[in-house]
Amino acid sequence: MSAAPQPQQQQQQQMQQPQMMGNPQQPAMAAPTPMTNPVRGAAPPTPAQLVAERQQNLMTIKQLQQTLEAAQQKDIHLKALVFSVFPYV
């Protein structure tokens, strides 16, 4: 019996798949949700929680890097287009 993939596994699979630049169907980045409760007197996070949070942070960093790279490529493309139309700008 195979279980359905967990949401985190689905996100990891999506991150491992190559993404096309300018893909309008690319999901918007969701705000990260903290897994620990930093309340004074609360129990410290467990090692498993820390690992999960670290993994989420790494995925967020990877998404941000991909977004930045895509934006830079788009900027280069648009500048090249403008200079091809208006070479003396």
Note the pLDDT of residue 36. 56
In whole numbers, what is the pLDDT of the chain averaged over residues? 75
Q: How large is the average pLDDT for residues 5-18?
A: 46
Distances from the Cα of 50 to the Cαs of 34, 39, 57, 81, 86, in angstroms? 10, 16, 10, 46, 53
Residue 64 lies inside a defined structural domain of this protein: yes
Residue 17 lies inside a defined structural domain of this protein: no
Residue 40 lies inside a defined structural domain of this protein: no
**Model-level pTM greater than 0.75?**
no
Query: Residue 33: pLDDT above 80?
Result: no
Which residue range is the domain that position 64 belongs to? 45-89
Domain count within the chain: 1
Residue 80 lies inside a defined structural domain of this protein: yes
Residue 8 lies inside a defined structural domain of this protein: no
Residue 24 lies inside a defined structural domain of this protein: no
Contact 73, 21 (CB under 8 A): yes
Q: How confident is the model at residue 65 (pLDDT cuts 50, 70, 90)?
A: very high
Residue 29 lies inside a defined structural domain of this protein: no
